[in-house]
C-alpha cells in the first residue's frame, strides 16, 4: 500500500465518503473522522480523547464483529463476495498481528482506529468499505457486550470454584460443632459445615445475578449506526445469529446509549464483593489468636517485616478491601449515566474503565479466597472449647415447652437461671438441680441432657437447620447447585482464544 496515497473513509455521523490522509506519511494520524475540520485537534484533546490504553482488550471482539459486518454488507449488496472475503482475510491477518504482540502507535485513538489502520495495511483501499453503514457507536457497544458475556462466563467459573472449595471443607466439618454468633455474641451451637454453607448460598445468588447480567448483554446493537440506524439493508437477524446474540435491540437510539448491562454486572460484582468480604471477615476473625478456630496455610498468607512470628491473612484482607473498590466502580458508572441525554455521549467512553477494573479485580479476588479457604484447617478443639452451657438456654426453654409450659414463662424461668450462673461465675451445668426446680416445677432430673451441644444440634432437623440430616441434605443441594451450572452464554471460541496472552504496552 502506498502510504502517500489519499485514503477514502466514511464519516461516522453522516455516512458520507470523505478523503483523508492526502500526502499522509507512514506513522501520521489514521482517523475515522476529520473531513469537516480544517485543522487538527489540540494535543490536549487528543490525550484526553485517546482510549486505546483501556479499550485495546476489545480487539478480539471488534475483529469478530467486523468480520460479521463484512458478510452482512455482502448480503446487503454493498460489497462483492470477493471484497467481503478479502476484508475477512485481512481481519484474520490483523488478528494474528495483534495476537503476536503488535502494539498501537501514538496516533491510534482507540482500538477501532488501530484495527482499521492495520486492515488498510493488510488489504489496501478495500478496507475503506468496511465502515459503510456503521458507526463506532454501535461498534463499541457490540464489542463491549461480547466482552461482557465472555466475562460473565469466566466469573461464573471462578465463583463455582470457590463454591466447590466451600463444599469440600463443609463435607469434612459435618461433625464439628462451633458457636454461631448474633451481634458478635455467642448464640447457639451449630455444625461447622452449616457455618461454611452459610457462605455458599449467597455466592449461588451471585451466580444467578451474573447470569442475569449476561442475558441483559445478550442483545445485538450492531446495525444501529450512530443513532438513527443503518441506511443500508443489512440483516440484523443474520448479524445476531453469526455473533451468537439471542436478540436484537429494537431502538437504535437506545442501542448506542444503553449501558444497563454493565450496571447490572457491576451490581452483581458489588454484591458478590460484599459476600466475599463477609466470608473474609469471618475467616480473619476465626484465624486470630483470640478465636483460633481456623489455621491458615502458607500459600495465601504473608509475614511481617519486623515481627517474625506473624502470619497475616493478606489475601482475605485484600478481598475485604476490594468490596469497596467494586462499589466505587458501580457508583462511578451510575453517576455517569444518570445525567446523560438520549443517544450516544462521550461520557460513555469511561464505562469500560469501571467494567474492566471490577471484572479484573474479581477474577483475582475469587481464586485468592478459594485458595485461602482450601488450605486452611479447622481447629476442632478450640471450636469445641468455645461452646458454653449458656448457649443452650434456648434448648432449656424448649425443654419446658415440650413438657407443657408456654414459651413466655419458659423464657423467664431460663433467664433467671442464666442470671444465677453469671452471678456465681459458673456454668449452667454446675447449678444444682434444686435451682432448676425452683425456677420452674416442670424441670426434671433429665434437665442436664438439654444442656448438651450435641443434643441442641440434633434437635434442629428442620429444612435449612443445623441438624446432622438437615446439613447432609443441604450439602447435597449445594452439590446439585453446581451441576449443571447456571445458564450462561458460551464465549465465542475464536474470540476467547484470541483474548489469551495478549499484552498491551501503552
Q: Which residues are catalytic?
A: 183, 304
Give phi and psi for 404, each to the nearest 5: 115, -5
* Sole residue written with cell 453522516: 14
Peptide bond into 484 cis (omega under 30): yes
- 334 in helix, strand or coil? helix
Strand intervals (E) in 245-395: 247-248, 294-295, 377-378
> Is 494:60 a contact under the CB 8 Å cutoff?
yes
Residue 260: CA atoms inside 13 Å, Cβ hemisphere, count?
Answer: 11
- DSSP class per residue in 307-318: -TT--B-HHHHH
- Number of DSSP helices (H) and strands (E) in the chain, helices first: 20, 8
- DSSP class per residue in 126-163: GGGGTTTT--HHHHHHHHHHHHHHHHHHHHHHHHHHHH
Contact partners, residue 38, CB within 8 Å, separation at least 6: none
- 377 in helix, strand or coil? strand
> Is 166:197 a contact under the CB 8 Å cutoff?
yes
The distance of Cα 271 from the centroid of its chain, to the nearest Å, equals: 9
256's grid cell:
448506542
Nearest to 210 by CA among 161, 277, 257, 150: 150
- C-alpha distances out from residue 312 to 11, 282, 285, 298, 503, Å: 57, 14, 12, 10, 32
Strand intervals (E) in 162-288: 177-182, 185-191, 219-220, 247-248
- 464 in helix, strand or coil? coil
- 33 in helix, strand or coil? coil
- Radius of gyration in angstroms for the set of CA atoms belonging to the chain, rounded to a whole number: 31
CA distance 36 to 287: 65
Nearest to 134 by CA among 19, 240, 234: 234
204's grid cell:
449461588
Cβ–Cβ contacts within 10 Å for residue 455, how many? 15
Strand intervals (E) in 1-134: 7-10, 17-20
Amino acid at each position: 500500500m502506498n502510504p502517500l496515497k489519499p485514503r477514502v473513509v466514511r464519516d461516522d455521523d453522516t455516512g458520507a465518503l470523505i478523503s483523508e490522509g492526502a500526502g499522509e506519511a507512514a506513522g501520521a494520524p489514521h482517523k475515522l473522522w476529520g473531513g469537516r475540520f480544517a485543522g487538527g485537534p489540540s494535543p490536549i484533546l487528543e490525550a484526553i480523547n485517546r482510549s486505546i490504553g483501556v479499550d485495546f482488550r476489545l480487539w478480539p471482539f471488534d475483529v469478530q464483529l467486523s468480520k460479521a459486518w463484512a458478510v452482512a454488507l455482502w448480503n446487503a449488496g454493498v460489497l462483492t463476495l470477493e471484497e467481503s472475503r478479502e476484508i475477512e482475510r485481512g481481519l484474520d491477518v490483523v488478528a494474528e498481528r495483534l495476537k503476536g504482540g503488535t502494539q498501537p502507535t501514538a496516533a491510534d485513538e482507540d482500538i477501532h482506529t488501530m484495527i482499521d489502520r492495520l486492515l488498510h495495511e493488510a488489504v489496501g483501499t478495500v478496507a475503506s468499505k468496511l465502515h459503510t453503514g456503521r458507526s463506532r457507536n454501535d461498534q463499541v457497544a457490540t464489542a463491549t457486550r461480547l466482552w461482557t458475556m465472555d466475562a460473565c462466563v469466566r466469573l461464573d467459573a471462578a465463583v463455582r470454584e470457590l463454591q466447590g472449595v466451600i463444599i469440600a471443607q463443609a463435607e469434612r466439618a459435618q461433625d464439628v460443632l462451633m458457636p454461631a454468633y448474633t451481634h458478635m455474641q455467642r448464640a447457639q451451637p451449630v455444625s461447622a459445615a452449616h457455618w461454611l454453607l452459610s457462605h455458599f448460598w449467597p455466592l449461588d445468588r451471585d451466580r444467578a445475578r451474573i447470569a442475569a447480567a449476561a442475558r441483559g448483554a445478550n442483545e445485538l446493537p450492531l446495525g444501529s449506526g450512530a443513532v438513527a440506524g443503518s441506511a443500508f439493508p443489512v440483516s440484523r437477524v443474520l448479524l445476531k445469529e453469526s455473533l451468537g446474540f439471542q436478540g436484537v435491540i429494537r431502538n437504535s437510539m437506545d442501542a448506542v446509549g444503553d449501558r444497563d448491562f454493565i450496571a447490572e454486572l457491576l451490581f452483581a460484582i458489588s454484591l458478590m464483593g460484599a459476600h466475599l468480604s463477609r466470608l473474609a471477615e469471618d475467616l480473619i476473625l476465626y484465624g486470630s489468636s483470640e478465636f483460633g478456630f481456623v489455621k491458615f496455610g502458607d500459600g495465601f498468607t504473608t509475614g511481617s517485616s519486623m515481627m517474625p512470628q506473624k502470619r497475616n491473612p493478606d489475601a482475605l484482607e485484600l478481598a475485604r478491601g476490594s468490596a469497596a473498590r467494586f462499589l466505587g466502580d458501580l457508583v462511578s458508572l451510575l453517576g455517569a449515566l444518570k445525567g446523560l441525554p438520549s443517544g450516544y455521549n462521550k461520557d460513555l467512553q469511561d464505562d469500560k474503565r469501571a467494567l474492566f477494573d471490577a471484572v479484573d479485580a474479581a477474577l483475582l479476588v475469587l481464586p485468592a479466597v478459594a485458595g485461602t479457604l482450601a488450605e486452611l484447617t479447622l481447629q476442632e478443639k478450640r471450636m469445641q472449647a468455645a461452646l458454653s452451657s449458656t448457649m443452650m438456654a434456648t434448648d432449656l426453654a424448649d425443654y419446658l415447652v415440650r413438657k407443657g409450659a408456654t414459651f413466655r414463662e419458659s423464657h423467664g424461668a431460663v433467664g433467671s437461671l442464666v442470671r444465677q450462673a453469671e452471678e456465681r461465675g459458673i456454668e449452667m451445668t454446675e447449678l444444682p438441680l434444686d435451682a432448676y426446680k425452683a425456677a420452674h416445677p416442670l424441670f426434671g432430673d433429665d434437665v442436664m441432657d438439654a444442656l448438651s451441644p450435641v443434643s441442641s444440634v440434633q434437635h434442629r432437623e428442620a429444612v435449612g437447620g443445623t441438624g446432622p440430616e438437615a446439613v447432609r441434605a443441604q450439602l447435597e443441594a449445594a452439590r446439585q447447585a453446581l451441576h449443571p451450572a447456571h445458564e450462561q452464554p458460551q464465549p465465542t471460541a475464536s474470540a476467547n482464544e484470541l483474548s489469551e496472552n495478549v499484552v498491551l504496552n501503552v
